[in-house]
């Protein structure tokens, strides 16, 4: 058995954030498929035994299970000594971006991708609302990256892994990312890291 076991499904960018961190850090890990689309995370035994929140990802290490991608990334950075802060100022800056990601960046973009690109369902007005919010968040990151190679400092950190979680998927969102050249260049820089792989090469798909 591998040192780390990641309960995940390939379509989840939140899972991908952790999978990418594990791979880029050279960790000994394996994916444990969770049938999200079949309702596994909503079942009582999953919530009782794996994650009371009824979510993925969950990272298991030495019998202890960790949940919430931002918390997992923070724990992994502390444990591995990789992609974490070098001082208190960077620690707070990374935390700032993790909170921005969860509240403004991933939250709207991921919901839009799920409804519009995967489920292909929902009210077009809802799609447009989510798209507008996602575009606003993307614009914030695009402006920051105009004068910064990475989100914090001069090297990739878990802040980058967090915000990039959903950017390497190709499902439709109705957003033309060519209007964000700094973001595309940032994605390319991170994709040059040893251990980088696209989502579906690291985790099994829930839908074929």
* pLDDT tier at 1, thresholds 50, 70, 90: confident
| Dihedral sign (CA 71, 145, 13, 24) | negative
167 located within any domain: yes
Q: Report the pLDDT averaged over residues 5-34.
A: 98
57 located within any domain: yes
150 located within any domain: yes
Q: Report the pLDDT averaged over residues 70-78.
A: 98
Continuous H helices in the chain: 13-24, 44-49, 69-80, 88-100, 106-112, 124-145, 158-163, 181-191, 199-202
Res 17: pLDDT: 98
pTM equals 0.96
Q: Name which of 160, 162, 150 is nearest 68 in CA terms.
A: 162
pLDDT tens, position by position, 76-114: 999 999 999 999 999 999 999 999 999 999 999 999 999
> Based on the domain organization, do 101 and 40 belong to the same domain?
no
**Distance (Å) of CA 126 to CA 108, 111, 122, 136, 171:** 11, 10, 7, 16, 18
Average pLDDT, the chain: 97
> Based on the domain organization, do 40 and 110 belong to the same domain?
no
Contact 157, 74 (CB under 8 A): no
**Other beta carbons within 10 Å of 191:** 13
* pLDDT tier at 204, thresholds 50, 70, 90: very high
Q: What value does the CA radius of gyration of the chain take, rounded to a whole number of Å?
A: 17
pLDDT at 208 over 80: no
Contact 158, 21 (CB under 8 A): yes
> Based on the domain organization, do 133 and 41 belong to the same domain?
no
Look up tokens 């190709």; give the residue. Answer: 170
> Based on the domain organization, do 58 and 145 belong to the same domain?
no
18 located within any domain: yes
Domain of residue 35 covers: 4-83+195-202
> Based on the domain organization, do 71 and 114 belong to the same domain?
no
> Based on the domain organization, do 115 and 179 belong to the same domain?
yes
> Based on the domain organization, do 38 and 65 belong to the same domain?
yes
pLDDT at 72 over 80: yes
Question: How many whole angstroms separate alpha carbon 150 and alpha carbon 144?
Answer: 9
Q: 61: domain CATH number? A: 3.40.30.10
> Based on the domain organization, do 43 and 101 belong to the same domain?
no
> Based on the domain organization, do 42 and 99 belong to the same domain?
no
**Structural domain count of the chain:** 2
Q: How far is CA 58 from the centre of its chain?
A: 13
> Based on the domain organization, do 132 and 174 belong to the same domain?
yes
Q: How many helices (H) and strands (E) does the chain have?
A: 9, 4
> Based on the domain organization, do 42 and 109 belong to the same domain?
no
99 located within any domain: yes
33 located within any domain: yes
pLDDT tens, position by position, 153-181: 999 999 999 999 999 999 999 999 999 99
38 located within any domain: yes
208 located within any domain: no
Res 47: pLDDT: 97
> Based on the domain organization, do 76 and 95 belong to the same domain?
no
Least confident range from 103-107, 145-149, 186-190: namely 103-107
pLDDT at 183 over 80: yes
Backbone angles phi, psi at 65, to 5 degrees: -110, 130
């Amino acid at each position: 058995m591998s040192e780390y076991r990641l309960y995940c499904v390939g379509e989840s960018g939140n899972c991908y954030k952790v999978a990418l961190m594990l791979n880029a850090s050279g960790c000994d890990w394996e994916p444990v498929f969770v049938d999200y689309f079949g309702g596994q995370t909503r079942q009582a035994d999953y919530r009782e035994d794996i994650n009371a929140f009824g979510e993925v990802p969950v990272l298991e290490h030495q019998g202890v299970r960790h949940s919430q991608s931002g918390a997992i990334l923070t724990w992994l950075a502390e444990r591995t000594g990789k992609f974490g802060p070098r001082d208190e100022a960077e620690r707070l800056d990374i935390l700032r971006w993790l909170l921005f990601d969860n509240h403004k960046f991933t939250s709207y973009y991921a919901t839009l991708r799920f409804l519009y690109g995967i489920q292909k369902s929902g009210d077009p007005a809802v799609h447009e609302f989510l798209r507008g919010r996602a575009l606003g968040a993307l614009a914030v990151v695009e402006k920051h990256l105009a004068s910064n190679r990475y989100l914090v400092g001069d090297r990739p950190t878990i802040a980058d892994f967090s915000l990039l979680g959903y950017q390497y998927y190709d499902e439709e969102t109705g957003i033309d990312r060519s209007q964000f050249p700094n973001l595309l260049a940032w994605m390319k820089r991170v994709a040059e890291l040893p251990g980088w792989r696209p989502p579906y090469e690291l985790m099994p798909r829930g839908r074929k």
